[in-house]
Amino acid sequence: MARRLPRDEDEWKKRLTPAQYAILREKGTEPAFTGRYYRSKEDGAYLCAACGAKLFSSKAKYNSRSGWPSFWAPVFEAAVSRKEDISTGTRRVEVACRRCGSHLGHVFEDGPAPSGLRYCINSASLEFKSGKKKD
């Protein structure tokens, strides 16, 4: 059964930490090189910290040296939505969780093969689920 999504911002504030709320709901960003998943090399899946939707696989993660966890593709195209963002005065493409609409980061066209894309994602917008099997 899918988790019920909050219906208003007060519910999101109760569910998320202040840092998660600032990023996921207010479109903030964490400082470069500070996120908990920036250097992670563990096998598994990265889920939306707000709603639990599966977004990225560790198989698509790479070190872009940008300061944020980077992926060359989501687990499937419909997992995320993209929208033009000119809030900083430069053209960027915002990436959001398609299920709950929460802000994740941005996607750029300077990534590695096979996609040529760099999904630059805030660690605070993600939860990690290990792919290791328990004995």
- Which one from 51, 97, 100, 120 is the annotated catalytic residue? 120
The reported pTM is: 0.90
**What pLDDT, on a 0 to 100 scale, did the predictor assign at position 73?**
97
Please state, for a pLDDT cut of 90, what percent of the chain lies above it: 84
- Find how far residue 6's CA is from the centre of its chain: 19
Confidence of residue 79 (pLDDT cuts 50, 70, 90): very high
DSSP 20: H
Domain ranges of the chain: 9-130
CATH class of 9-130: mainly beta
Q: What is the pLDDT of residues 50-75, one digit of tens each?
A: 999 999 999 999 999 999 999 999 99
Instruction: State yes or no: is 120 an active-site residue.
Output: yes
Pair of tokens at residue 66: 């940008």
Main-chain dihedrals φ then ψ at residue 15, nearest 5 degrees? -80, -35
Kindly state the DSSP code that residue 115 receives in the 8-state scheme.
Answer: T
The average pLDDT across 116-132 equals: 94
